[in-house]
Structure 1
Amino acid sequence: MFSFLVSLSCATIISDYCVGDLSQPDGPAGYPCKDPAKVTVDDFVYSGLRVAASSANPFKFGANNATVTQFPGLNGMDISITRADLDVGGVVPLHTHRVAELIIIIQGTVIGGFIDTKNTAYYKTLSKGDIMIFPPTLLHFQINVGSTPVLAYATFASENPGFQAVDLALFRSSLPSELIEKVTLLDDAQINKLKKLLGGTN
């Protein structure tokens, strides 16, 4: 009887949601819960995907994210979404996330692909209405191969999936050029050109 009462007592403290309190530090388990008395319907609605992000960059690609840092209602929900806009010739460069990504093409034509840990490349041309899954942590990309801009949405199995692009990790970081030469086999002139283009130092 006692164990039943204990389990019943514990069950009553389980909440339907934990809107993230973005004024507190984020941790491995997410943000602490916002005071329930201060939760409003606006914590569960996000309008930031209505417009395209700027694609004024060398990749001609922009992304508007709806992750927990923009949309606190996602805290603890293990889901998020990104709007991706690619100009003609635009590229989402080789990158990785901590979790799986599912992309749907809304308009335009892309080649989407990923490379597995056996160095096998899987890629295909995707058109309006097509979807593709990219497994967790594997390097993947999208390239606009059509004559019109691309609009796509990507969903993730995390409210904070992370994003690391290979080019940015190498050439926008402070990693010294001599180390990049050794790990990429690029020469100093190529590395300096890419660092200048992407904003790296050293």
Structure 2
Amino acid sequence: MASSILFFGFLAFSFSYVLASDPSSLQDFCVADENSNVIVNGLACKDPKEVKADDFSFSGLHLAGNTSNAVGSRATTVNVAQIPGLNTLGISLVRIDYAPRGINPPHTHPRGSEILTVIEGSLEVGFVTSSPENRLFTKVLRKGDVFVFPIGLIHFQRNVGNGNAVAIAALSSQNPGVITIANAMFGSTPDIPSDILVKAFQLDKNVVNYLQSRF
């Protein structure tokens, strides 16, 4: 009996040891080395002796983005491409400007959840859950309000105020990525065969051809 207890105790200890790992970074920082040819999941680290304060800084988020475009919004991203010191930290930031009635069209972030704060104006925001429910959660936000978009889910924002609107969003990845649904479906390179889009969206082929020409 004692030997059985000892054996199972040894198994439990061995199993816990195998699963053990470091849950966080093993160094103070890993500033991205933009000149490195090493390919890793992220970016290779710069020599810490060459790191400067500027590697952790970005200026310009106070400047409004140009919203003179088809959707009436502009995102100014602050990720690892703008701040090398974000490398391995799992966070990033974006400023979004909206013209009156402007939208940030339906899109997803494949590698990060998003928490958005309205700085100026009023926004209608929403996201759709995964199939088969495809449930829409939507809410009108005003200055100071906060809303969360879970990772990978399609979401959007629309300016419902009379003037310009501004939001700041934080994301749980140094490079969360963005897939704008319309651009991906109708503006891929090369084009997705039109008959697939006709059947998927239940549209006339002429409409699909028109949309592909627009994107």
What TM-score do the two structures reach when normalised by structure 1? Answer: 0.86
> What are the within-5 Å matches in structure 2 for residues 1-202 of structure 1?
14-24=26-36, 29-97=41-109, 98-117=111-130, 118-173=133-188, 174-198=191-215
Distance across 1 between alignment mates of 2:40 and 2:101: 37
Instruction: State how many pairs are aligned.
Output: 186
Which consecutive residues of structure 1, in runs of 5 or more, have no partner in the other structure? 1-12
Structure exhibiting the larger radius of gyration computed from Cα positions: 2
Q: Which runs of 4+ in 1 moved over 6 A?
A: none
Equivalent residue letter for 2:51: V
Residues 48, 66 of structure 1: 8 Å contact kept = no
Root-mean-square deviation (CA, aligned residues, Å) is 1.7
Cα–Cα, structure 1 residues 111 and 32, in superposed 2: closer, same or farther, change >3 Å?
Answer: same
Structure 2 vs 1, CA of residues 25 and 144 (structure 1 numbering), >3 Å: closer, same or farther? farther
Amino acid at match of 2:34: L
State the one-letter code of the partner of 1:175.
Answer: I
Give the share of equivalent positions with the same residue, in percent. Answer: 38
Q: Is the 8 A contact 1:113 1:124 kept in 2?
A: yes
SS of the counterpart of 1:196? helix
Paired residues of 1:110 and 1:144 also in contact (CA < 8 A): yes
Tell me if the contact between 1:61 and 1:90 (Cα under 8 Å) persists in the aligned partners. yes
